[in-house]
């Protein structure tokens, strides 16, 4: 058997889980995903997988059902590591876009016009594009990522940085 773990957790937790599962003869692929709810519904998520090549190939049909892009990044824990790196960028982008919109609006630029520039310039990352409605009309947007989960991610990112000696 091969278990697939898709949570946003630290690589140390994934490695702990892999050891326990391995003792019972079960492999593990850590395969956290990136993308919003719409991409999940359409099977268009990006999957960041860690595990043996054989285990990743064994679960590929399951992963292909939820994602359009699969990166096998190395041993167990690599997927979790990459997910934290991606979320580090996402959380930074979220703050930067918010602050830039406030800056533009405070200086008299209409919000939709400012966002059109963001979406058409070097800042047009996929996150900026698919979060447009939420930034332009925050009063109508559902909460897609709660602050307690952001805090959890930032704690995991800091723990990984400390573990690896990264500043």
Is residue 62 within 8 Å of 49, Cβ to Cβ?
Answer: no
Is residue 10 within 8 Å of 33, Cβ to Cβ?
Answer: no
DSSP for 116-141 reads HHHHHSTT--HHHHHTHHHHH-GGGP
131 among known catalytic residues: no
Choice among 73, 83, 128, 160 that is catalytic:
83
Is residue 34 within 8 Å of 93, Cβ to Cβ?
Answer: no
Catalytic annotation, residues: 83
């Amino acid at each position: 058997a091969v278990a697939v773990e898709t949570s946003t957790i630290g690589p140390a937790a994934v490695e702990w889980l892999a050891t326990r599962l391995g003792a019972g003869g079960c492999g593990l692929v850590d395969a956290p995903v990136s993308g919003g709810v719409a991409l999940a519904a359409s099977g268009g998520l990006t999957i960041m997988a860690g595990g043996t090549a054989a285990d990743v190939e064994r679960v590929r049909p399951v992963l292909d059902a939820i994602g359009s892009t699969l990166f096998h990044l190395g041993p167990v824990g690599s997927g979790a590591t990459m997910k934290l790196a991606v979320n580090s960028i996402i959380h930074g982008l979220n703050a930067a876009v918010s602050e830039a919109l406030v800056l533009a609006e405070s200086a008299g630029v209409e919000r939709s016009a400012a966002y059109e520039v963001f979406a058409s310039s070097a800042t047009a990352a996929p996150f900026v594009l698919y979060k447009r409605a939420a930034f332009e009309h925050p009063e109508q947007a559902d909460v897609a990522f709660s602050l307690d989960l952001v805090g959890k991610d930032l704690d995991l990112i800091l723990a990984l940085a400390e573990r690896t000696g990264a500043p």
